[in-house]
Chain A
Amino acid sequence: MVKLEDVSSLLQAPAPSQKVPIRTDSTYKPLHSFALDKQRSYKQQYGDMYFLRLAKIKPAVEEVASKAWDGTEIGGELAKRVDRVLDVRQGELCWVAGTVYMDMRLKPNILEDVSKDRWLSAPISSQKYYSDDGSDQIMLEDDSGRVRLVGELLNSIPLVTGCIIAVMGTENTNGEFEVIDLKVPDLAPQPERWALSKAPSASGKSKSEDTDMTDSPSPNGGKKIAIVSGLSFSGTDASYDLELNLLLEYLLGEALGPDEQTSISQISRLIIAGDSISTTATKENDDEDDETKKRAQKKYGYDASAYNPLPSQLFDEFVAELLPSIPVTLLPGARDPANASYPQQPIHTAMFPLSRAYASDPGAASTSQPGWFDTVTNPWEAEIEGWRILGTGGQNVDDVFKYVESDDRLGMMEAMCRWRCCAPTAPDTLWSYPFQEDDPFVLKSCPHVYFVGCQPEFATKVIHGPDGQSVRLIAVPSFSKTKEFVLVDTETLEVTKIKITSR
């Protein structure tokens, strides 16, 4: 409870010092794990992705499983390892690893589309694939065959298509596999901090460590990264313009008092995690313009008159104003002008006539230093301040969300880390590029920070792995809905939520 008298002294603060704070630098090394070849072909089959994923993750899950189940005896019978799903024999206690496939009534099914001669997938309309009438089936499959999984255990562990697990149990008389226990690959090995980039000078590092322990000259903690998502710049909806302005002023260090400005200068980078542009702008006009729209000629099937350049222009201005002061990393989201399928490729800088002056030179090789304004892929991996960071625009979690009953977004993020796959539902329900040689969604190494944009609400937690790994999970809320964004301290990986309100 603060009274006006208490703070009025802040209003008439002594003339602000003439020293403008200098923003701390950002040690930043983006990894191009999800970049696709510009000349990529789309002719391949998707089946290879499942094969690759199984081949890559199976050894890990089998290691976990054999550690847990070797020598396990149930009812006098020793659990045996079986190589292939098809080798499971009725009545024998065994364990086997494979890929989960969820057969759900509400889930779009490509085979159905093909059999009914529908060659365009209908846009996914349902909010959830999950139905609670028990009609959903869980299967385990590998390159040999498929077996249906049953058992109490499965109700307590959420599973989605595409994750790799090992199950122990027996096949019953119905040909179903009764699951007694279930193992996931768990967290991948985690690299050390500063594994790829060099730590700034040792003195600098020790100084920031001091900051944490003693009362150092800077009471503001270490460097921070700001993560925001769902800015949804819109041509028509101005209801959160004020908050967007305040966000800009906050990040630029214009708002707030001198002390806070100094602390804001510690924010070394802004990450925009998807949905920066709202495409629902013309909704209201649809009815009025219906007539004219029908008449409008479409060239190449595209109605140019329906295009509204204002949102991207506003976003460009926003970013261009930030850039002189703070580097920006931009991930595309579901509604951004990038390709729709995962992994989304960087938004082209032609979208940003003002900001692109800060972008990296497209001619230069990707090995040169990254652009000050870095438009990146979604998902995206980088090393920032030595920490391995994995971020997505949120589609992967949104899609997993449809498979399970719960609302626990963090739980889904945790599950993805433990499945070692950041987009397990691709390519089944999450549109994806048909990878041939490599499945980049498999997490070869465990990130230190895993953030997901465009989520309904803010949430964060730290999960720990068997080998001492720890991952900071952050669900970044959509700014246009919550007016919230996130600061991550790059020394402690602690998270602060900043909320902007008006009243």
Chain B
Amino acid sequence: MDDAKKYLSDRLLSEEVPVTYRLLSRVLNIRVNVAKQKLYEFHQSQNASKANSIHATYLIYGSKTEHKQPETGDTDMDNSVPEPEPLSDYAPTKTVTIVAEENLKDALAEYEEVTSFHIYSLAPFPQRDLALLSDVSKSLSDYRKIEDAAKTLDTYGIIANPQARRKDRKGRPPVPAPAPSASAPKSVKQEVPPTLSKPTQPEKVKQEVKEVSSAEATPSSSAGKKPPATLKRGASGGIMQSFAKAAAKPPKPKPEPEPKEEDTSMALSDDGEADDEDLPTSKKSIGLEALKRTRKQREEELMRMMEDADDDMKEEAKKEDEQSDEEMEEASEAEPEPEPEPEQQPKEEKEPTEVISNSGDGRRRGKRRVMKKKRILDDQGYMVTIQEAAWESFSEDEAPPPAATKPKPASTPAASSTQKSKKAAAPKSGSQGSIMSFFGKK
């Protein structure tokens, strides 16, 4: 009771935005019919204390007077239809009318019989343009959870359908992404310690966050907002940003259902949400000086490597990324959030250019960072080629080349490209081929 009142007064009197019964039901997790009732009670009580402070719209349902044949029951289905008329038979019409308080009497006067009548929405001002209400319902999508649809129906009092069936997608929930996720944790222990003084995963992640947004973002600010901030820092920020994204990718196939696997064209842009989700968890611990130092080294190296890349192109690419990120986020809202565990792993992979998971059986397996070229059609229709770091799993003989052992990003592309054919392609490689495959296409 109080919840409803509190919410309604907040929303209507303070924020001065309309509330529909559906919104109220979603916010409070109550059935729609209860929500209608709450709206009615609130409308009564508010206008009793202060007349015309709240304005309602009503939903009327029934048959209008234009019908020659009056109807008796709630529905017309039982009635026999009169004799055929010249072109079209007579068919009963039911009308749903949504009407503002001011026009209610007129609207009702047109009806012969009203079988349903309830408040549709409340607003703190007279509602001239009812189309505005459709904006309210747009915000409903925030409350929509596809996964537990059946439960949702019950919560909100929507007509349930026990027969509803979804197709079983084979392998959809687990998609264990064997190579990336398995290799990541181990590699942290093996490879990372040498380079970094503290192997603790969260710290590193944290460190990076700090580094990237060192100037303007304090650790206390919301981590989810940081990636956008880095975007504004020009070309270098863009590179780092794309690193963050690339690193975030490998674990994704696990929690994410299908967009990845089936929409290859979208895969290149679906990393945005991962950033937001990943970073918060990474924030937990405090960074260390040593981490910072190595981090800086790597950054410099990368910069050098990327120097010659065209700034404009990166700019374009960034825009593209941002846009598509948003789109993807919308599209994939329903997806379950990745659990914290796998999220942390990608983070640490940002640091080394290569992580090795298994070197016991004479083979080295792991993942390494490579620069990949990726072509995007920007919003003007121009094709833009950008370079982006991406993780690639590999497996090769022992006696690793020097390039691989040292965390030197510059050397990795060559090494990786030779290995490419042997490796199981990372999930996202479909969308952005390696440099080799890029040339191969021509």
Which A residues are in CB contact (< 8 Å) with B263? Answer: 350, 353
Contacting residue for B113 out of A2, A250, A254, CB 8 A: A2
CB of B105 within 8 A of chain A? yes
Q: Would you give the shortest CB distance from A455 to chain B, in whole angstroms?
A: 11
Which A residues are in CB contact (< 8 Å) with B195? Answer: none
Contacting residue for A371 out of B117, B167, B327, CB 8 A: B167
Q: How far is the CA of A8 from the CA of B100 in the complex (A)?
A: 15
Q: How far is the CA of A10 from the CA of B88 in the complex (A)?
A: 34
Are the C-beta atoms of A502 and B89 separated by less than 8 Å? no
Are the C-beta atoms of A212 and B78 separated by less than 8 Å? yes
Q: Would you give the shortest CB distance from A349 to chain B, in whole angstroms?
A: 10
Question: For this complex, into which size category does the number of interface residues on chain A fall?
Answer: 35 or more
Are the C-beta atoms of B158 and A252 separated by less than 8 Å? yes
Q: How far is the CA of A461 from the CA of B89 in the complex (A)?
A: 5
The closest CB in chain A to the CB of B379 belongs to A305
Are the C-beta atoms of A254 and B115 separated by less than 8 Å? no
Are the C-beta atoms of B380 and A353 separated by less than 8 Å? no
Q: Would you give the shortest CB distance from A5 to chain B, in whole angstroms?
A: 10
Residue with the highest number of chain A CB atoms closer than 10 Å, among B31, B91, B106? B91
Are the C-beta atoms of A357 and B160 separated by less than 8 Å? no
Contacting residue for B97 out of A11, A254, A502, CB 8 A: A502
Are the C-beta atoms of B167 and A361 separated by less than 8 Å? yes
Are the C-beta atoms of B111 and A304 separated by less than 8 Å? no
Q: How many residues does chain B have at the interface if contact means C-beta atoms less than 8 Å apart?
A: 94
Contacting residue for A254 out of B22, B62, B163, B330, CB 8 A: B22
Which A residues are in CB contact (< 8 Å) with B73? Answer: 219-220
The closest CB in chain B to the CB of A221 belongs to B77
Are the C-beta atoms of B331 and A496 separated by less than 8 Å? no
Contacting residue for A20 out of B31, B92, B144, CB 8 A: B31
Are the C-beta atoms of B381 and A257 separated by less than 8 Å? no
CB of B194 within 8 A of chain A? no
The residues in A between 407 and 433 inclusive whose CB is less than 8 angstroms from any CB of B are 408, 410-411
Contacting residue for B99 out of A350, A358, A502, CB 8 A: A502
Interface string of B74-86 (1 = CB under 8 A from A): 1111110100100
Are the C-beta atoms of A16 and B37 separated by less than 8 Å? yes
The closest CB in chain A to the CB of B84 belongs to A461
- Of the candidate stretches A96-104, A185-193, A315-323, A385-393, the one touching chain B is A315-323
Please list 26 pairs of residues, one from A and one from B, whose beta carbons are closer than 8 Å in the complex, sorted by A's number. Answer: A1-B109, A7-B114, A10-B114, A16-B37, A20-B154, A254-B22, A254-B158, A255-B59, A256-B61, A257-B116, A259-B74, A260-B116, A263-B75, A264-B159, A292-B380, A299-B377, A309-B327, A324-B150, A325-B158, A350-B263, A361-B167, A361-B168, A460-B88, A499-B96, A502-B97, A503-B98
Using CB atoms and an 8 Å cutoff, list the residues of chain B in contact with chain A: 21-22, 25, 31-34, 37, 40, 59-62, 65, 73-79, 81, 84, 87-89, 91-100, 103-109, 111-120, 130-131, 133-134, 137, 141, 144, 146, 149-150, 152-154, 156-169, 258-259, 262-263, 327, 330-331, 334, 377, 379-383
